[in-house]
Structure 1
Amino acid sequence: MQRRSLLLAGAALGFASAAHAQGWAPTRSMRLVVPFAPGGAADTVGRLLAEPLGTALGQTVTIDNRPGGGTTIGAQAVARSAPDGLTLLYATPNVQILNPHLMRSLPYDPQKDFTPVIAILRAPKLLVVRPDFPAQDVAGLIALGKSKPDGLTYASAGVASSGHLAAAMFGQMAGLEMLHIPFRGTAPATQDVMAGRVDFMMDNIATLLPLVRDGRMKALGVSTADPAAAAPELPPIGRTLPGFHDASFNYLLAPAGTPPEIIARLNTVLNEILDSPALTSRFEILGIEKLGGTPQALEAMVRAEHDRWGPVIERGGIRLQ
């Protein structure tokens, strides 16, 4: 009887917690802080989430763009916000995974100042060269790099950008001597690769795949462990370099101390939004993979990625001032 009473009490607490989570709703408008300027990929996806999230919770969700500082300005704004569920951060790997390795100091604690909410998406990268580049695949690119006295050159959208880090990891794993040519954005980087002034680059599939389809660039491989749904004909780089895998993933964070019932409610609603046909279709068009899942799964993912990128950044001597 005692055991049965304990089970019933536990069940009652579980139902009460679920009801509380289901019942939470914001009392005024919410804001989703995007640590980038309007018009970029993060801003686009943030806006795709904001409207259905507001509809589900009965309040307007506004996008608050806070660019600058390698995402530190937006992250700090959320870290200092009240833990009431009304302020969320659209996070990229910089916030908790990369910046702790890239910067000597941060205006926030990347682990203690945030509560995980949900993983949003994973975006594969393409490794691309100009159409008449002599290498036809990843193995050919590696062989060419090892045969050239000065090695290969590669372009990126800037120092410590996702494309810079992915290419640096590629070079380290392949044992290549390479020279990094940073640009101010993806557009000028792609122009110099297409013009033959730089050997190759890696960047998100949504940006590069249209150029490949138009014949303006040649893709040698995709960064994910498995073929990308948007370009299943392209082989994963990991088939040539075992263990190589990379995909930029985005996720949502709340300020530390946000009550578990609020996190649970947000997670439930956002999982439903990610599973909706409208968002699934849009993500497929953009060539990105939806994630979702629990806050605990997100926390483990962030921790694993933090530990994986630390040695790459250290070996490459990559720093942000």
Structure 2
Amino acid sequence: MASSAVAQSDYPNRAITLIVPFAPGGGADLTARLVAAPLGEELGQTIIVENKPGGGATVGARMVADAKPDGYTLLYTTPGPQLTNPFLMDSVPYDYVKGLTPISTIAVVPSVLVVNKSVKANSVPELIELAKKNPHSIRFASAGIGASSHLSGELLKVMAGVQIDHVPYRGTGPAIQDVVGQRVEMAIDSLTVYAPYIQNGDVKALGVTTPEPLDSLPGVPPIAEFLPGFDSSPVNYLSAPGGTPEPIVQRLNEALNKVLEKPELQAHMRKVGLLPGGNTVAEMQKLVASEQAKWKDVIEKSGAKSGS
């Protein structure tokens, strides 16, 4: 017990590994690297980013869940490992409740609801009315089954009570091409990827997925203004293996929050379309529980698990 207490008070005394459960070059990887360097400086140790893609992020998540709970193996966590995959998949290869300890949000990824220019709707209420008058006439594109762009559409479907059909693609690029090319009516995806098409007038932006309006998209209201409680902006956060001692979790939380308060990091995040995170461990745990309940309900009600 004494040696364990000393190890905790001495934490960290060597390099920390941050597992990113995706291939290099994607949004999660870039954000992880953006945060890793200043977080390492704050902790006084190097943070080594390792990419462990596969299984819809379950490969990397399992590595962290199975790691020694000593604070030296961490997970850059997107919604998949704890919030959505457990309800989309028949099973995940780790205990999604106890296997990972949420520490703090890192960033929120705002998304936007867009429609192609031929859709006779210029607002969320008009789109909902159109979908109700003509069931199955509106199709929404996603980056693939289980992607945030898929589940955001399912959330809209459930909350608005409309029959809109999911069209999954192999990645965001092909989905964008078909929305812009007017082969699919709508999509709800990252503002970052759709911003150029909105600015060029190739698509119409009807609403954002955040509870509040975004400075980067003036004049476009939150979807929640018309569907109270709608919030489908993916949360990215830091996790440790389940059973990590509370003092270590608290140390990581405090260090990460301090880093996320740095003006230069906040400016960089906003420039690439992210909202900087930061919260307490208790708030993070409450957020994970509420997001799990929300997505479990949406996936069950929409039939998303069967690939709707």
Please indicate the TM-score interval, normalised by the length of the shorter structure.
over 0.9
Within 5 A, what are the aligned runs for 1:189-208? 189-208=175-194
Supply the AA of the counterpart residue of 1:178: I
| 2:241 equivalent in structure 1 | 255
| 1:131 equivalent in structure 2 | 117
Q: Deviations over 1:2-48 (max 9, x none)?
A: xxxxxxxxxxxxxxx9x997x64423221110111111111111001
2:275 aligned with 1:289, yes or no? yes
Any conservation in 2 of the 1:271–1:293 contact (CA below 8 Å)? yes
| 1:317 equivalent in structure 2 | 303
**Alignment partner of 1:103 out of 86, 89, 106:** 89
Question: SS in structure 2 opposite 1:77?
Answer: helix
**Alignment partner of 1:145 out of 119, 131, 146:** 131
CA distance in 1, matches of 2:302, 2:76: 27
Any conservation in 2 of the 1:227–1:236 contact (CA below 8 Å)? yes
CA distance in 2, matches of 1:239, 1:292: 25
Any conservation in 1 of the 2:118–2:182 contact (CA below 8 Å)? no
Structure 1 position 146, deviation (Å): 2.4
Return 169-178 or 40-49, whichever deviates more: 169-178
Any conservation in 2 of the 1:24–1:261 contact (CA below 8 Å)? no
| 2:169 equivalent in structure 1 | 183
CA distance in 1, matches of 2:46, 2:23: 21
Identity %: 44
Q: Deviations over 1:181-239 (max 9, x none)?
A: 10011111010000010000000112212321222221011112211232232111122
2:88 aligned with 1:85, yes or no? no
CA distance in 2, matches of 1:158, 1:316: 16
| 1:170 equivalent in structure 2 | 156
RMSD of equivalent CA atoms:
1.9
| 1:41 equivalent in structure 2 | 27
Structure 1 position 258, deviation (Å): 1.6
CA distance in 2, matches of 1:318, 1:292: 30
2:294 aligned with 1:308, yes or no? yes
**Alignment partner of 1:157 out of 140, 143, 162:** 143
Any conservation in 2 of the 1:92–1:248 contact (CA below 8 Å)? yes
2:265 aligned with 1:274, yes or no? no
Question: SS in structure 2 opposite 1:168?
Answer: helix
TM-score, normalised to structure 2, is 0.93
CA distance in 2, matches of 1:284, 1:188: 25
Supply the AA of the counterpart residue of 2:17: R
| 1:219 equivalent in structure 2 | 205
| 1:57 equivalent in structure 2 | 43
Return 279-288 or 39-48, whichever deviates more: 279-288
Supply the AA of the counterpart residue of 1:319: K
CA distance in 1, matches of 2:222, 2:254: 33
CA distance in 2, matches of 1:212, 1:296: 38
Any conservation in 2 of the 1:24–1:262 contact (CA below 8 Å)? no
| 1:7 equivalent in structure 2 | none
**Alignment: residue pair count:** 303
2:250 aligned with 1:264, yes or no? yes
Supply the AA of the counterpart residue of 2:288: V
| 1:13 equivalent in structure 2 | none
CA distance in 2, matches of 1:104, 1:58: 41
Q: 1:97 to 1:173 in 2, by over 3 A?
A: same
Structure 1 position 103, deviation (Å): 1.4
Structure 1 position 131, deviation (Å): 3.2
Question: SS in structure 1 opposite 2:109?
Answer: strand
Any conservation in 2 of the 1:126–1:205 contact (CA below 8 Å)? yes
TM-score, normalised to structure 1, is 0.89
Structure 1 position 263, deviation (Å): 1.4
CA distance in 2, matches of 1:242, 1:89: 32
Return 253-262 or 273-282, whichever deviates more: 253-262
Any conservation in 2 of the 1:121–1:250 contact (CA below 8 Å)? yes
Question: SS in structure 2 opposite 1:247?
Answer: coil
Supply the AA of the counterpart residue of 1:117: I
CA distance in 2, matches of 1:304, 1:149: 30
Structure 1 position 56, deviation (Å): 2.0
Structure 1 position 132, deviation (Å): 4.2
CA distance in 2, matches of 1:96, 1:189: 26
Q: Deviations over 1:73-120 (max 9, x none)?
A: 000000111112111001111111112211111110011112221111
Runs of 4+ with >6 A deviation: none
Long gaps (5+) in structure 1: 1-16
Any conservation in 1 of the 2:109–2:235 contact (CA below 8 Å)? yes
